[in-house]
Amino acid sequence: MREFPDNWNEITLSVVVPVYNEETTLDDIVGQLHEVPLHLEIIAVNDCSADRSGEILDELLAAKRIDHVIHQPRNMGKGAAVRAGIKAANGHVIVIQDADLEYDPLELPKLMEPIVAGKADATFGSRFQGGPRRVLYFWHSLGNRFLTLLSNMLTDLNLTDMETCYKMVRADVLQPITFVSNRFGFEVEITAKLARRQVRIWEIPISYSGRTYEQGKKIGWKDGMAAIWHLVRFNILSRG
What is the mean pLDDT of the segment spanning 155-183? 95
The per-residue pLDDT for 2 is 66
What is the mean pLDDT of the segment spanning 215-223? 56
Residue-range domain boundaries for the chain:
8-237
**What are the tens digits of pLDDT across the range 73-116?**
999 999 999 999 999 999 999 999 999 999 999 999 999 999 99
Q: Given 3.70.10.10, 3.90.960.10, 3.40.250.10, 3.90.550.10, which CATH number is that of 8-237?
A: 3.90.550.10
- Kindly list the strands in the beta sheet with 93-96, ordered across the sheet, starting from the edge strand earlier in the chain: 68-71, 39-46, 12-19, 93-96, 167-170, 122-126, 201-205
**pLDDT confidence bin for 223, thresholds 50/70/90:** low
Q: Which residues of 24-134 form beta strands (DSSP E)?
A: 39-46, 68-71, 93-96, 122-126
- Nearest CA to 93 out of 172, 184, 29, 165 is that of 172
The per-residue pLDDT for 90 is 97
Cα distances (Å, whole numbers) of residue 222 to 226, 229, 234: 6, 11, 18
